[in-house]
Amino acid sequence: MARRVYTLFFFLCLPLIILRLLYRAIKAPAYARRWPERFALGGDVRSGGIWVHAVSVGESIAAAPMVRELLERYPQLPITITCMTPTGSEQIRKLFGGQVGHAYLPYDLPWLQRRLLRRLQPKVGIIMETELWPNLVAEAKRAHVPLVLANARLSARSARGYQRVGALVRPMFSALDWVAVQSQAEALRFVELGVAREHMQVTGSIKFDFRPDPAQVQQARELRARWGSERPVWIAASTHAGEDEQVLRAHRRVLEALPDALLILVPRHPERFDSVARQVSEAGFGMVRRSSGALPAADQQVLVGDTMGELVFLYACADLAFVGGSLVPNGGHNYLEPAALGLPVLSGPHRFNFTEISELLEGAGALQVVDDETALAVAVQDWLQQDTARQRAGQAGQAVVADNQGALERLLEGIARLLS
């Protein structure tokens, strides 16, 4: 009954959803393209193989090592990756090109999900992290498609939200065939929402299995040398609205102590690239945009990272990383990428999406939590002025990453059981 009410509500809201898509297309024109795929029509859908759903950029990057292993281990099975956003789509094509099929996931109406699954006819469906839709899961169950929730995470905040609509989501969670969850605390939350204990395993986070590309790191070092090897550089990555201005005010304080310091500012969403660049200029900073290909001059204090797929490369150009979504209540982003590159990590107080990972890094001395822009400025100054301490913190972060690897292999073993 609850799912029928949900479906009716979703259907009635569809005109508003389409209007929102059109509104988003004003800033990001890609949202106005490929509309048939939103209704399970078109797209590069390859049937009879493995289907992976990764909602956007972060999930696509997290899924990449798994997908590469699946391509190698099951060359006879085609892989199709679905996502929800143009940026996720661009990332998938950048990562895999024509090696995989790709389409947008349709809106969560039963007849649309049914149409997609008829076209896919997958031997297994792998959903990354927490991107669950009631009708999608129900239709997969009806079609006898085994579903894996991979690299699953569930914050206490999200769990409370799901509990409020328990009648709708408990059947969804109980229908999952296997959940590869990141931590024991999250496993308990999934059990409370209806996942059977025997259908779940604590595998750890596959984000620990991230391994920087040595060639990319070398290219970053060469670029950094062209900026001036003595110039201190810090990066504020995956920032959100309301956060950029705090970072810029912190950078102004950093410049008082380190006049040649360079900030790499990377907004989380591409549709904000232009507005953030304007914000930097209006704040009175000398600025260069990464997309221009120009090198930051001595009188330019900010480089705006306005390109797709280069975040890891830009991390490798820096001495120190602040990970965004944490000075505003978005829950933080992936702290492991900068840690794996040997960078000390700074985070704001809002890190509920990565609590366990951030606490591991913090306990090792590789991550420092700052409460506001003033504390951020102080911490950046301290780290940039203490080479030995900064290197020790970076090495501690790399050790944490290395010590917790192995989740990817455990995930692949679980998928293999469902494919056998």
Residue 24 lies in a domain: no
What CATH number does the domain containing 294 carry? 3.40.50.2000
3-state helix, strand, coil in the chain (%, to 5): 55, 15, 30
Residues 6+ positions from 416 with CB-CB distance below 8 Å? 73
Using CA atoms, how far apart are residues 180 and 280, in angstroms rounded to an integer?
A: 42
Using CA atoms, how far apart are residues 7 and 362, in angstroms rounded to an integer?
A: 43
**Which residue from 105, 164, 156, 162 is spatially nearest to 135, judged by alpha carbons?**
105
Neighbours of 51 (CB within 10 A): 27
Using CA atoms, how far apart are residues 12 and 16, in angstroms rounded to an integer?
A: 8
Neighbours of 198 (CB within 10 A): 7
Query: What angle (nearest 5°) sits at the alpha carbon of residue 90, between those of residues 300 and 27?
Result: 65
Residue 13 lies in a domain: no
Residue 18 lies in a domain: no
When pLDDT is cut at 50, 70 and 90, the band that residue 30 belongs to is confident
What is the residue-averaged pLDDT of the chain?
Answer: 95
Residue 31 DSSP symbol:
G
Residue 396 sits in the same domain as residue 249: yes
Residue 245 sits in the same domain as residue 169: no
**Number of domains the chain contains:** 2
- Region 152-174: what's the mean pLDDT? 94
Q: Indicate the pTM of the whole model.
A: 0.85
Q: In this structure, are strands 262-267 and 200-202 parallel, antiparallel, or unpaired?
A: unpaired
Percent of the chain having pLDDT more than 70?
100
What are the pLDDT digits (tens) for 357-373? 999 999 999 999 999 99
pLDDT for position 229:
79
Residue 194 sits in the same domain as residue 250: no
Q: Per the residue annotation, which of 59, 139, 186, 373 is the catalytic one?
A: 59
By the 8 A CB rule, do 204 and 404 touch? yes
Q: Which two tokens stand for residue 416?
A: 């293999």
Neighbours of 396 (CB within 10 A): 18
pLDDT for position 21:
85
By the 8 A CB rule, do 124 and 418 touch? yes
59 part of the active site: yes
Residue 3 lies in a domain: no
Residue 255 sits in the same domain as residue 386: yes
Residue 398 sits in the same domain as residue 411: no
Residue 386 lies in a domain: yes
pLDDT for position 330:
93
pLDDT for position 329:
95
Residue 229 sits in the same domain as residue 179: no
The single-letter code of the amino acid at 125 is G
- Region 221-232: what's the mean pLDDT? 92
Backbone angles phi, psi at 100, to 5 degrees: -130, 155
When pLDDT is cut at 50, 70 and 90, the band that residue 87 belongs to is confident
Range of the domain at 121: 37-205+406-419
Residue 236 sits in the same domain as residue 373: yes
Secondary structure class of 245 (helix, strand, coil):
helix
What CATH number does the domain containing 185 carry? 3.40.50.11720
Match 């990428």 to its residue by tokens.
337
Residue 157 sits in the same domain as residue 186: yes
Residue 190 sits in the same domain as residue 134: yes
When pLDDT is cut at 50, 70 and 90, the band that residue 24 belongs to is confident
Residue 350 lies in a domain: yes
Residue 155 sits in the same domain as residue 297: no
What are the pLDDT digits (tens) for 275-334? 999 999 999 999 999 999 999 999 999 999 999 889 999 999 999 999 999 999 999 999
Backbone angles phi, psi at 400, to 5 degrees: -60, -45
Residue 224 sits in the same domain as residue 284: yes
pLDDT for position 420:
87
- Region 191-220: what's the mean pLDDT? 94
Residue 319 sits in the same domain as residue 387: yes
Residue 120 lies in a domain: yes
